[in-house]
Every structure is written in C-alpha cells, then in structure tokens.
Structure 1
C-alpha cells in the first residue's frame, strides 16, 4: 500500500478520508509550535497509542497531569489522532496492488470514479509520468484482477500499469507482517470498529459498547494487539512536523542486492512506506520531505543506494481518498 503514512490524516471516522468534490479545497489546519517534549510525546504515542499517562510522564520527565495536558493539546489541535489500524486480512483482504493511471483529459473526474470503488482504498492525484495513483485491496487475486480491469475500463482512462505487493518492508503506522488471528468473531470486529474511531477509548467504554465486562473487553483488546490484528498508534499531521511534501517512488532493483537495498531504504528517515512488488517494478514507496530541496536530497540519496538500478518518482498533489475500513455490506 502506498500510503500517506500519514499523518495525512484523512478520515471518515479516524480511518476514512471522505472524498471531497474536486472544486472544494480543505480548510487549513491551525498551526501550533512543537517543542522537544511534544516531539518525544509524539514518538511514544506513535509506538503505542494506548500508552498510559504515567508512562508518558516518565518519558517526558513531567507530572502525570502535565503529560495528559500535553497530549490533549495535540489531539484538540488536530496535530495527532490516535486510531486503531486493522490488518487487512481481518476484513478478508489478502491481495494488494499499486496502480498508476494515465488519463485522456482532466484527471479529477476519473479520480472520483476510482474513489467510488470499494477496493480502491487509496487514491491520489500526482505530478509525474501518470497523473493518478491508486492502491487496490481485494479478497484474492481474482478479485484484485477484476478491480484493476474496472479501473482500466473507466471513461477517460488511457492506460494503466500495475505492481502487485508481495511483502511490506516498512510502514509508518503498522508493523509489517501477517496477523496471527485466524478469525475474528462479531465482538472482536465491534471492538476493532470502536478502536478505529478512537484508539484511546477506555476499556470500560469499549466493554459497554460490546456488552462485555471491562476485564473481558481488556483481554480481547490485548489479544487483538498482541496478535497483530490491530495496531493502535498516532497519526500525525505532516505539516506539524515540517514535512509538507509527499512523494512516491518505484524502483528497479539488482536481484543480487535487492534485500540489502530494501533494508537500507526502509531505514531512511523520510520513508513512510515501502513494499516489495512484482509487475511494473520491484518496489513501491512513499517519502515525506520538508521542501522541494528536501525531496531532491532524498531522491539523490535513494539513487545512490547500492542495488538500485532505476528510480521513478512522483509528487502527490491532492489526496482524494484514504479508507482502509471494510467495504460496506449491502
């Protein structure tokens, strides 16, 4: 999944970005100054979205009320949102692909048609060789192929190129790797849904929402977290951290050094997402930079990594959709 990583905190509920008509622009978010304590707090909440105020106070070297007030300030300003991210397999989505789309004529009408597809979980208008990129998540390879064909058949689409994900190397919001939960029952799914809205919902409120005791709800949530079925962390508004430019990139790798190259790239601080792929390229990634110069510096660093044969990049202009929730049932 190419993702805004992202703090590009888009959402219908904490995990969904509502598609806005192409003529509308989003309201600018209020700006607040962040100090070293704020950055330390954000790093801790990114790691564990349900970290206790007591633990935060120890990390920050301040009182529990002061740590609580710090986090509340960031939440109220929209700098940070703490949300649960469910592993795609929880909702039966096991096949993923990245699609670049060439368009004859204006791109926004085509982008809005792609946004309307349940399987299209991420859609962005970009500046690059192709003006539109999308991530598709489907139940299986057959459904994935059908979704890609639907995009190719849309009015205005001239050409598409597909890269199928084989492994997630780096993800800023979710630990890579499969979920260890074989199946979730209705209560588990209800807990996941509540955590997607607010990852710090108290266990007592979660229990009341699913008609369990507080201890039973706590046990279930901890099992979901330990198994990798859901991860709770902070999504941070990128401009608050000075990262105002988001770029995507695809790589062709030297097969003899591909693993080392991907490890090196995944460790770069700018990289928010990195996936191994087959198809039009060997890897897909997303990086956040503070400026055009920062983006250029990152791409130059990328091109210098041993094992990379070629780099193609694009700059995100407008994120149209970011929605990893399950498709709505009829």
Structure 2
C-alpha cells in the first residue's frame, strides 16, 4: 500500500516545505536564521514566504489560548435547516471568538470551535447568539477537557531536514492545555492592542507593535516572550489544504471506554493524518480532526488505524463539505482569502 504521508503535491517543492516546517516550529523565526539552517540566501526565504502568502497557501497568526486565562475551549455542532446552512456558516465565520468553522457532510450541520475569553461572552454565544439565530435548529456543545500533544505538528515535514538542521531550529512550543498560574493570567490594554495585530499577521514587526502599544520595540519583544511563556499566546499556521494536495478534511467523534481514553488519544496524536485530538464532555468522549488525500485514504485510516485501537466503542465520521474559516483565516474555496 502506498503511504500517503510521503506523497507530495506539485504546488510545493522541497524548499517551500522546509520553509513551512521552520514556520511551524517558530512562526516568527528570523529569515536570516531560517536561511542559515536551509543553506540558502535570506532573500530566497523572504521571496518564497511572500509567494506562499500571495498564493493563499499559508497564513501565520498569533492566537490567544483561553485556558491560562481561566476559560475553556468548546467544540460546537450547530444544526441548521439545509437551505440556510451556507449563510449560517458564513455568519459564524465572522464572529471573532469562533474558529475552524466548517459545513459537515450532513449538509445541515456546522462545526466550529469557541474560544470566548470571558464568561459573559461564552454564555452569550452558547445561550443567546447562536441558539437564537433563525437558521439554527439545535446545538450540541462539547467542552474540551484535555488536548493531546502531538510529537510533530502537521504537515510533518521534519523528514526533509538533517538532525543538525533540526537541532538548529530548536523544539516547537506546544499549546498549554492547563493553567500554569494559581490565578488566571490578566491581559492589559496594551496586550490586547498587540494581540489584535498578531491575529492578522503573526509576523508583524516589533516596530508596528510598538506603535500600537505605545511601548518601545524591546519592551514589546519582552512582553511577547512573557505571553508565549505563560501559554496565553501561541502562533498558528493556516493552510490551503486543497492546494497542497489534500482533498478531504474530516472530524471523527468517538465514544471510548474511560480506562482507554488516554491511550487512544495519545496513539491518535502520533498519526500523520491527525491535526488535533481532544478528550471532551458530551455524547462522545474523543474528537479528532483529520487531513487525508482522498476519501479512499480516509477509509483506510478508519479501518486500519482506528480499527487497530482497543477501547473505541463507537465512531462517527463527518467529512467537511466546505471550510469557511480556519484558526484565523477566512477561506475562498481552495485558498486563504481574507484575514479577520
């Protein structure tokens, strides 16, 4: 059987993929450092990066992790009348607290992730704004209890590097899954100004951030480091997956025996197709996001990968018919079109 993880798309060559991996490890890595790791010129790295942006293949954004702020992540499945599902998905994609907004294969259900940063806003979304929308016929909310750390973030291009190059890049920093302080971390007005810019451009220069905050560039750099170390700020890459040769996105909803939950989640986190896996409250106990080459690849994943894991009691597979928004970027069919 051909291993889909080593098949490549012609739209990206090896240098593009190595640049992408460098950004996955450190989204704000200086181009000079990345160029030294890759043994190319700084101008080449900068030119390739601009091309990836202009072609709508990637987008780098700074994201707020609500867990250290004392709040939870929620995965929402929102049922709609079929004729209104597209309009509902487009509207939900424009809410800043919502990300990963997709129309599921049922044709009348939207899945999204809520990262509301206050209890008031969480309650407004879950109890008023979404349920009261005229297109909505039902809502199921799953609170994320635990996110399983992956040994390498998708798209797993580290194989294109030597051991020395990987050491030069250094390790990536995983998203904190639990609060690291006795009290929730507090954000200042200046923090919010900086985070708003980073959400649109994760590589925004320190000078631009200094202007927005009224701080000096060195102070901005120090504060950004503090926010990253606290787990509040992390950097994410959005991808135009279809343009990279991946035709199928899917969510898998599993009921897993409690004694096997940690083992199954940890195993899934090692698979190349899995971009996220989390243990949740609700009617299912484990949710995973997948990226596959085609529907046949998805079938083999379900039968061969999932089928080999003990403890899974029930599985529901819901491919995405359309993705409206990823972590931060709005999508236009097969390319990143607009940053909110």
TM-score normalised by L of structure 2: 0.75
Matching residue within 294, 313, 317 for 2:317: 313
Q: What is the match of residue 292 of structure 1?
A: 295
Q: Structure 1 residues 71 and 135 mapped into 2: Cα distance closer, same or farther (>3 Å)? A: closer
Distance 1:319 1:312 in 2: 19
* SS of residue paired to 2:49: helix
Q: What is the match of residue 65 of structure 1?
A: 43
Matching residue within 71, 76, 80 for 1:94: 71
Q: Structure 1 residues 65 and 108 mapped into 2: Cα distance closer, same or farther (>3 Å)? A: closer
Distance 2:81 2:94 in 1: 19
Q: Deviations over 1:70-101 (max 9, x none)?
A: 222222322222221121257x6713332324
* SS of residue paired to 1:67: helix
Q: What is the match of residue 140 of structure 2?
A: 161
Q: Structure 1 residues 246 and 262 mapped into 2: Cα distance closer, same or farther (>3 Å)? A: same
* SS of residue paired to 1:212: coil
Instruction: Name the Cα RMSD after superposition.
Output: 3.1
Note the residue ranges of structure 1 that are not aligned, 5 or more in a row: 1-30, 326-330
Distance 1:69 1:115 in 2: 30
Q: What is the match of residue 259 of structure 2?
A: 256
Q: Are 1:87 and 1:178, in contact at CA under 8 Å, matched by a contact in 2?
A: no
Q: What is the match of residue 19 of structure 1?
A: none
Distance 1:136 1:73 in 2: 31
Distance 2:40 2:274 in 1: 31
Q: Are 1:83 and 1:233, in contact at CA under 8 Å, matched by a contact in 2?
A: yes
Matches within 5 A, 1:48-127: 48-89=26-67, 94-106=71-83, 107-111=85-89, 120-127=98-105
Q: Does 1:37 align with 2:15?
A: yes
Distance 1:111 1:75 in 2: 24
Matching residue within 183, 192, 195 for 2:195: 192
Paired residue total: 294
Q: Are 2:80 and 2:136, in contact at CA under 8 Å, matched by a contact in 1?
A: yes
Distance 1:214 1:84 in 2: 17
Q: Structure 1 residues 124 and 64 mapped into 2: Cα distance closer, same or farther (>3 Å)? A: closer
TM-score normalised by L of structure 1: 0.77
Q: Are 2:176 and 2:231, in contact at CA under 8 Å, matched by a contact in 1?
A: no
* SS of residue paired to 1:222: helix
Distance 1:130 1:315 in 2: 13
Q: Does 1:235 align with 2:238?
A: yes
Q: Structure 1 residues 303 and 310 mapped into 2: Cα distance closer, same or farther (>3 Å)? A: farther
Q: Are 1:266 and 1:274, in contact at CA under 8 Å, matched by a contact in 2?
A: yes
Q: What is the match of residue 134 of structure 1?
A: 112
